[in-house]
């Protein structure tokens, strides 16, 4: 059994605790926004449509800031995670049904992360994809033991270190191949170019606004700040720190995502064979040299390792909150690896699997987002920290946009036009 007999050390808040020391949970949640699914969707977008869909990433990142702040604030103010609260309010049947869809989303997330890490190991060391997937699973388990045995703060430090590697890996190529300013400006104008671009936009949205990160962030925030509600002044300070934490983390994640699309648009636009991560990597090597290719692959590996650890953490949080079932992370890690390893062993196109997994994630967003909006707008639950009218309007607009895009995606899929 993985869990230690001792509880992780609690972080005691003091009035003089600096703002910087209170940051961290959002950077763990932000890993979900730079996982291998993002790589596949963003590279495909840039290589296929150039700068056309830059606006999708900008809009998605703004929505992500809003959503993650609400999730973290819910955890800090109530002392409970989003799955905890839903588990208390749903009937037994409702809890189980909600858990099924949340678990499918978590499985799609884990699929993308393990496959992406396996691709990176194949690019770096020519390892077979199933072997790479097993290595990614094993290393992610080692990362999870840091959180389990040493507490959340050291785990945050490890994840932030990997986030720095991811940032360098995915943005280094822009130094040698800067994007076209006019193209970037044109890409900020909302528009599509046929049904396939809408399908890809839905995948990009699913890769950017992540349901499991919404569930997880509330848990990370309440565990990181267990004494936040000890005094009104301290709660106000932690809520403020949470806001800055989210803004800083999501600006970084957004820059990485947009940078990937810009790199593909400036380097891979019109190049044959860039509809897969392997092909895009080969084109990057041909255009920018082997050093940039290695840096990119290392960034992809860091992305897979960090995001699959965070994904397993999120899955355990969802199960515990909704079903009141707590299983060892090691057991969950092994079970969640099976679909990804099976897919890799069957030889299914891994990049295609990554993109499809992001589309699955986009369908799970409303199930996480609508309850979150209702709860953070509840004055009885949130007190003076309930969402104000501007925040509620912006959040509602986000829900309408996401649901509308998914309706269009369903129509395109079943009409045979996508």
- Say which range, 47-51, 310-314, 414-418, has the weakest mean pLDDT: 414-418
Encoding tokens for residue 33? Answer: 């926004």
Cβ atoms of residues 11 and 226 within 8 Å: yes
Alpha carbon of 13 to those of 149, 154, 185, 217, 319: distances in Å?
21, 17, 44, 19, 29
| Across 229-254, average pLDDT | 89
Of all residues in the chain, the percent with pLDDT exceeding 70 is 90
- Say which range, 17-26, 200-209, 244-253, 306-315, has the weakest mean pLDDT: 17-26
Amino acid 96: pLDDT: 92
Tens digits of residue pLDDT in 83-127: 999 999 999 999 999 999 988 888 888 888 898 899 999 999 999
Is residue 354 predicted with pLDDT exceeding 80? no
Number of Cβ atoms within 10 Å of the Cβ of 1: 9
Encoding tokens for residue 403? Answer: 């649901």
**Binning pLDDT at 50, 70 and 90, where does residue 272 land?**
confident
Is residue 262 predicted with pLDDT exceeding 50? yes
Encoding tokens for residue 136? Answer: 């990614």
Encoding tokens for residue 299? Answer: 């960034």
| Across 281-310, average pLDDT | 92
Residue-level length of the chain: 418
The alpha carbon dihedral of 321, 99, 407, 38 has a sign of positive
Alpha carbon of 168 to those of 77, 94, 177, 192, 208: distances in Å?
35, 43, 15, 30, 19
Supply the pTM of this predicted model: 0.88
| Across 60-67, average pLDDT | 91
Amino acid 225: pLDDT: 81
Is residue 182 predicted with pLDDT exceeding 50? yes
Is residue 211 predicted with pLDDT exceeding 60? yes
Amino acid 13: pLDDT: 46
**Binning pLDDT at 50, 70 and 90, where does residue 214 land?**
very high
**Rounded to 5 degrees, what are φ and ψ at 57?**
-70, -40
- Token pair 């992610």 in the structure block, residue: 140
Return the CATH fold of 29-415. Amino acid/polyamine transporter I (1.20.1740)
Residue 367: closest CA among 418, 306, 316, 318: 318
| Across 57-85, average pLDDT | 94
**Domain residue limits, the chain:** 29-415
**Binning pLDDT at 50, 70 and 90, where does residue 234 land?**
confident
Amino acid 2: pLDDT: 37
Measure the CA–CA gap between 379 and 86, rounded to whole angstroms.
Answer: 17
The single-letter DSSP state of residue 128 is: -
Average per-residue pLDDT for the chain: 85
Cβ atoms of residues 69 and 355 within 8 Å: no
Residue 118: closest CA among 361, 340, 348, 355: 340
| Across 124-133, average pLDDT | 94
Measure the CA–CA gap between 57 and 316, rounded to whole angstroms.
Answer: 29
End-to-end CA distance of the chain: 46
Is residue 6 predicted with pLDDT exceeding 80? no
- Say which range, 108-117, 146-155, 215-224, has the weakest mean pLDDT: 146-155
**Binning pLDDT at 50, 70 and 90, where does residue 16 land?**
very low
Of all residues in the chain, the percent with pLDDT exceeding 90 is 46
Is residue 196 predicted with pLDDT exceeding 50? yes
Is residue 226 predicted with pLDDT exceeding 90? no
Measure the CA–CA gap between 288 and 282, rounded to whole angstroms.
Answer: 10
- Helices and strands per DSSP (H, E), number in the chain: 19, 0
Encoding tokens for residue 412? Answer: 């395109």
Is residue 141 predicted with pLDDT exceeding 90? no
């Amino acid at each position: 059994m993985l869990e230690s007999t001792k509880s992780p050390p609690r972080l005691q808040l003091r009035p003089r605790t600096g703002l910087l020391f209170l940051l961290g949970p959002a950077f763990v949640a932000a890993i979900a926004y730079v996982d291998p699914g993002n790589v596949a969707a963003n590279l495909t977008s840039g290589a296929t449509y150039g700068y056309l869909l830059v606006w999708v990433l900008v809009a998605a990142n703004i929505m992500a800031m809003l959503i993650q702040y609400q999730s973290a604030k819910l955890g800090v103010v109530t002392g409970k995670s989003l799955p905890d609260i839903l588990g208390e309010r749903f009937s037994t049947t409702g809890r189980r049904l909600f858990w099924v869809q949340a678990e499918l989303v978590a499985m799609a997330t884990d699929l993308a992360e393990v496959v992406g890490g396996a691709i990176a190991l194949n690019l770096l060391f020519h390892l077979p994809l199933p072997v790479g997937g097993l290595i990614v699973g094993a290393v992610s388990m080692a990362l999870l033991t840091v959180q389990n045995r040493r507490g959340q703060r050291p785990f945050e430090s490890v994840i932030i270190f990997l986030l720095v590697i991811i940032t360098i890996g995915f943005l280094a190529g822009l130094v040698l191949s800067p994007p076209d300013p006019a193209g970037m400006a044109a890409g900020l104008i909302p528009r599509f170019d046929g049904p396939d671009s809408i399908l890809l936009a839905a995948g990009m949205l699913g890769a950017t606004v992540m349901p499991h990160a919404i569930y997880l962030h509330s848990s990370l925030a309440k565990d990181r700040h267990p004494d936040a509600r000890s005094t009104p002044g301290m709660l106000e300070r932690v809520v403020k720190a949470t806001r800055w934490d989210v803004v800083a983390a999501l600006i970084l994640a957004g820059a990485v995502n947009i940078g990937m699309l810009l790199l593909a648009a400036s380097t891979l636009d019109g190049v044959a064979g860039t509809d897969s991560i392997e092909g895009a990597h080969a084109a990057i090597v041909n255009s920018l040299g082997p050093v940039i290719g290695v840096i990119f692959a290392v960034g992809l590996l860091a992305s897979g390792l960090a995001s699959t650890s965070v994904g397993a953490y999120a899955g355990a949080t969802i199960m515990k909150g909704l079903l009141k079932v707590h299983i060892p992370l090691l057991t969950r890690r092994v079970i969640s690896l099976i679909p990804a390893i099976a897919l890799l062993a069957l030889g299914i196109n891994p990049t295609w699997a990554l993109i499809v997994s992001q589309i699955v994630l986009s369908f799970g967003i409303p199930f996480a987002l609508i309850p979150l909006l209702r709860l953070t707008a509840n004055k009885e639950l949130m007190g003076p920290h309930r969402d104000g009218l501007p925040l509620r309007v912006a959040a509602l607009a986000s829900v309408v946009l996401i649901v509308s895009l998914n309706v269009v995606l369903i129509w395109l899929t079943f009409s045979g036009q996508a």
